[in-house]
């Protein structure tokens, strides 16, 4: 039986052609033709004041955290249910991490928990749009405004996803995308930072270009470039950007293909949901998601372990997701969980992600769902 993998990196067919073009142009460092094409495409798609490609989603978050200009002891509120990079970015600049609970229906940060966790040291809220489904941005933006806090969006999952008709990643001062091979659009390793406040552009460009004003030099705005401030190298190679360009050109096709698979899962698993075996994802009415993920939730961690190995025996590969950061060694060292962990641990242990990628075949979606059905209703149950 052929294996159905959990993830297959997106590939459209034009990648090699563009990578070859990048190589033949003899300009394979950053910010050449393909980097420019990608960032302009993303600026047009999102409406962000400026989009800068980065070497990873983690580096986009690192840039955002540095641009927040925090002092040691300043507090950042973030969900515990996220990838280590969300937390690392702020730990690296010496901030104290204040982890809060999520909502069980979307697995997104709970606005009430944010409000409870605010102290006079709080400087930043970092919202993570889990599975490309928007957090409650109406409330979160209001909280940030009322308390004068910087809002950062970890939109690593959320390229092309909307909340109230506006792209995720454009609500906060900074939005961070990932183009890792596990994400909807890929360049192997890569990402982008969305700058939604024009005042951050110059500083961000300097931070990204080894602390120099090379970006302004390339535009002819200064006649030589100099070391202006602290910085590093967050500029990806044009070869990687060439790979991404092939995917952005087909972005809507990729998105629609994923949404089709997502809708099929939802349809085929609804009878099992109605029998009470599992729960399906919830998409709030004001959210337009991007099918980054399809997950189900079962009763508890034992059922999940059994189901996952049952499916694996049928050559269907599934995956768990984040182990809550507040209980990890670094989480204990750099942060604290504010108030009670009512949802995070319990819900994270019930969640199982099903195969989802561009080009997933309908017959494979059917095979995955048949496997789940056999687990709950089959003879050797």
Ligand X SMILES: *Cc1c(COP(=O)(O)O)cnc(C)c1O
Where does residue 165 fall: left (phi above 0), alpha (psi -120 to 50 degrees), or beta otherwise? left
Can residue 353 be called a binding residue for ligand X (CB under 6 A)? no
- State how far the Cα of 238 lies from the Cα of 236, in Å rounded to an integer: 7
**Closest by Cα among 178, 64, 163 to 123:** 64
Alpha carbon of 193 to those of 53, 61, 150, 344, 366: distances in Å? 7, 8, 15, 27, 37
Cβ nearer to ligand X, comparing 50 with 157: 157
- State how far the Cα of 98 lies from the Cα of 93, in Å rounded to an integer: 14
Cβ nearer to ligand X, comparing 244 with 272: 244
Residue 364: how many other CB atoms lie within 10 Å: 17
Can residue 193 be called a binding residue for ligand X (CB under 6 A)? no
Can residue 154 be called a binding residue for ligand X (CB under 6 A)? yes
From the CA atom positions of the chain, what is the Rg in Å? 21
Residue 219: how many other CB atoms lie within 10 Å: 10
Cβ nearer to ligand X, comparing 190 with 371: 190
Can residue 295 be called a binding residue for ligand X (CB under 6 A)? no
Contact range with ligand X by CB under 6 A, out of 44-52, 77-85, 249-257, 335-343 = 77-85
Please answer whether residues 308 and 317 qualify as being in contact, where contact means their C-beta atoms are separated by less than 8 angstroms: no
Cβ nearer to ligand X, comparing 123 with 353: 353
Beta-bridge mates of residue 288? 162
Shortest Cβ contact with ligand X: which residue? Answer: 57
**Closest by Cα among 70, 53, 87, 67 to 193:** 53
Contact range with ligand X by CB under 6 A, out of 82-90, 102-110, 115-123, 213-221 = 82-90
**Residue from the set 18, 34, 81, 83 that interacts with ligand X by CB under 6 A:** 83
Please answer whether residues 29 and 152 qualify as being in contact, where contact means their C-beta atoms are separated by less than 8 angstroms: no
Name residues contacting ligand X, limited to 51-70 (CB under 6 A). Answer: 56-58
The minimum distance between CB 231 and ligand X, in angstroms, equals 19
Can residue 180 be called a binding residue for ligand X (CB under 6 A)? yes
**Residue from the set 42, 156, 244, 351 that interacts with ligand X by CB under 6 A:** 156
- State how far the Cα of 134 lies from the Cα of 106, in Å rounded to an integer: 9
**Residue from the set 172, 191, 324, 355 that interacts with ligand X by CB under 6 A:** 191
What does 180-208 look like in DSSP terms, one character per residue? -TTSSS--SS-EEEEE-SGGGHHHHHHHH
Can residue 86 be called a binding residue for ligand X (CB under 6 A)? yes
Query: What is the contact mask toward ligand X in residues 199 to 228, using x (rule: CB under 6 A)?
Result: ------------------------------
The helix-helix angle for 251-274 and 238-248 (nearest 10°) equals 60
Can residue 88 be called a binding residue for ligand X (CB under 6 A)? no
Cβ nearer to ligand X, comparing 86 with 348: 86
The minimum distance between CB 274 and ligand X, in angstroms, equals 31
What are the phi and psi torsion angles at 278 (to 5°)?
-155, 170
Cβ nearer to ligand X, comparing 128 with 150: 128
Please answer whether residues 334 and 97 qualify as being in contact, where contact means their C-beta atoms are separated by less than 8 angstroms: yes
Query: What is the contact mask toward ligand X in residues 112 to 151, using x (rule: CB under 6 A)?
Result: ----------------x-----------------------
Cβ nearer to ligand X, comparing 45 with 181: 181
Residues of the shown chain interacting with ligand X in the complex, contacts defined by CB under 6 A: 56-58, 82-83, 85-86, 128, 154, 156-157, 178, 180, 191
């Amino acid at each position: 039986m052929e294996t159905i993998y959990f993830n297959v990196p997106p590939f459209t067919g034009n990648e090699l052609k563009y990578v070859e073009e990048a190589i033949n142009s003899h300009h394979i460092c950053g910010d050449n033709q393909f980097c420019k094409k990608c960032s302009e495409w993303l600026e047009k798609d999102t409406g962000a004041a400026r989009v800068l490609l980065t070497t990873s989603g983690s580096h986009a978050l690192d840039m955002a955290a540095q641009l927040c200009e925090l002092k040691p002891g300043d507090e950042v509120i973030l969900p515990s249910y996220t990838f280590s990079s969300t937390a690392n970015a702020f730990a690296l600049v010496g901030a104290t991490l204040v982890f809060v609970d999520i909502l069980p229906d979307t697995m997104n940060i709970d606005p009430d928990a944010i409000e409870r966790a605010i102290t006079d040291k709080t400087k930043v809220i970092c919202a993570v749009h889990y599975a490309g489904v928007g957090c409650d941005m109406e409330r979160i933006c209001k909280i940030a405004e009322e308390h004068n806090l910087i809002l950062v969006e970890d939109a690593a999952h959320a390229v092309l996803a909307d909340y109230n008709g506006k792209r995720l990643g454009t609500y906060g001062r900074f939005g961070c995308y990932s183009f890792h091979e596990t994400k909807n659009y890929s360049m192997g390793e890569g990402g982008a930072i969305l700058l939604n406040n024009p005042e951050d552009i110059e500083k961000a460009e300097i931070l990204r270009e080894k602390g120099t004003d090379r970006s302004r030099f390339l535009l002819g705005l200064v006649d030589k470039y100099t070391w202006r401030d602290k910085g590093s190298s967050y500029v990806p190679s044009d070869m990687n950007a060439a790979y991404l360009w092939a995917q952005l050109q087909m972005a809507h096709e990729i998105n629609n293909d994923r949404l089709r698979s997502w809708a099929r899962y939802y349809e085929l698993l609804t009878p099992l949901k109605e029998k009470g075996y599992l729960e399906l994802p919830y998409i709030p009415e004001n959210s337009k998601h991007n099918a980054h993920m399809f997950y189900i939730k079962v009763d508890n961690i034992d059922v999940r372990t059994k189901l996952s190995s049952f499916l694996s025996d049928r050559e269907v590969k599934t995956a768990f997701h984040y182990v809550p950061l507040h209980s990890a060694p670094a989480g204990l060292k750099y942060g604290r969980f504010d108030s009670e962990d009512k949802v995070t641990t319990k819900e994270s242990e019930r969640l199982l992600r099903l195969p989802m990628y561009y080009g997933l075949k309908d017959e494979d979606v059917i095979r995955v769902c048949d496997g789940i059905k056999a687990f709950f209703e089959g003879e050797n149950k």
